[in-house]
């Protein structure tokens, strides 16, 4: 999985866990699971809960990306 860094360079971030259910960094896999759970909230009509949880998910993802100097995820 490739990522663009703040300096414009590209890096591959390796798998950082022993999970057998995904490739790439675990935090990105966890973000996908979180997004899927949020979609279920939206589909069930819980729009306020969706908005709150999605904001929290995106804040967490942005914080992780900023800490690693990532500006773009290239899947």
pTM equals 0.86
pLDDT tens-digit readout, 21-66: 999 999 999 999 999 999 999 999 999 999 999 999 999 999 999 9
Domain containing 36 equals: 2-74
CB–CB of 56/66 below 8 Å?
no
75 pLDDT tier (thresholds 50, 70, 90)? confident
Residue whose pair of structure tokens reads 């966890």 in the numeric block: 30
Give how many domains the chain has, as a whole number: 1
Number of Cβ atoms within 10 Å of the Cβ of 70 = 19
Rounded distance between C-alpha atoms, residue 29 and residue 74, angstroms: 14
Smallest Cα–Cα separation from 25: which of 65, 55, 71, 66? 65
């Amino acid at each position: 999985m490739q990522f663009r860094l703040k300096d414009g360079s590209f890096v591959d971030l390796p798998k950082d866990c022993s999970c057998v259910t995904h490739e790439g960094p675990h935090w990105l896999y966890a973000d996908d699971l979180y997004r899927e759970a949020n979609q279920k909230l939206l589909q069930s009509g819980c729009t306020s809960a969706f908005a709150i949880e999605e904001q929290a998910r995106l804040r967490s993802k942005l914080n992780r990306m900023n800490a690693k100097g990532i500006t773009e995820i290239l899947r």
